[in-house]
Amino acid sequence: MKYVHLPLNEEMRSIGGYYKIFEEGVLDYEGRKVLYLLKGAHVETSCCGSGGVAYMNIPGYLTTWKSEKNDGGLDVSEVKRIRDSAAQKKIRKILSGKYPYISVIDFD
């Protein structure tokens, strides 16, 4: 699967607010490289008020790193989704130790 590297710290706007990618990292895990993103979302306009949350997204194992550019000039890598639940559990544990303030870690 192709992964487009979006700019860090730029607002991605939506109808109710925005999110940002604060950090893009690579975790060495059992001889493979895991791409992860530290993100923050902020709700500005909703019926229930405003608020925000920090969370982590894991696109998958890197198979290529920034090996091409898309039409917009952004770097593109190839990733393989992590489907194995035991691997997901171990990766969550490692990243939770590194980022103890993040309680939501999702895999694509």
pLDDT at 26: 98
pLDDT at 21: 94
pLDDT of residue 49: 65
pLDDT of residue 50: 67
pLDDT of residue 46: 63
CA distance 73 to 21: 18
The tens place of each residue's pLDDT in the chain, 108 residues long, gives 999 999 999 988 877 788 899 999 999 999 999 999 999 888 776 666 666 788 999 999 999 999 999 999 999 999 999 999 999 999 999 999 999 999 899 999
Burial of 94 (0-12, 13-18, 19+ CB in 10 A): middle
Q: What is the DSSP letter of 7?
A: P
